[in-house]
Amino acid sequence: MKSEIHPKNYRLVVFKDISCDYAFLTRSCVETKDTIKWEDGNEYPLVKLEISNQSHPYYTGKMKLIDTAGRVDKFRNRAAKAVASKKAAKPAEK
């Protein structure tokens, strides 16, 4: 096994699922600027998650559309523009 490949800066970090307000404390070396006051009264770095095991349909058994930052609308707009450009590029039939 190679030596000196693992980070040395592991610390306690809070990961918070912003879609269902679920948070958990674990060890990580991820860099973050946000902090949060945890249940034990201490302040820990905070990493915001869009989805976790508490909100993922596979684990919850519920289908739920999570539209982060309007991704579905952006996709629909791109698709509509692509269809319109194909129609405009098609030569007129006589």
Q: What is the pTM of this model?
A: 0.58
Residue pair 52/22 in contact (Cβ under 8 Å)? The answer is yes
In order, the DSSP letters of 56-80 are -HHHH-------STTHHHHHHHHHH
Please tell me the predicted confidence (pLDDT) of residue 93.
Answer: 58
* pLDDT tens string 14-71: 999 888 888 999 999 999 999 999 999 999 999 998 888 777 666 666 665 566 667 7
CA distances (Å), origin 70, targets 62, 63, 81: 21, 18, 17
Locate 41 and state its tokens: 């009264």
Q: Is a pLDDT exceeding 70 seen at residue 6? A: yes
Q: Is a pLDDT exceeding 60 seen at residue 94? A: no
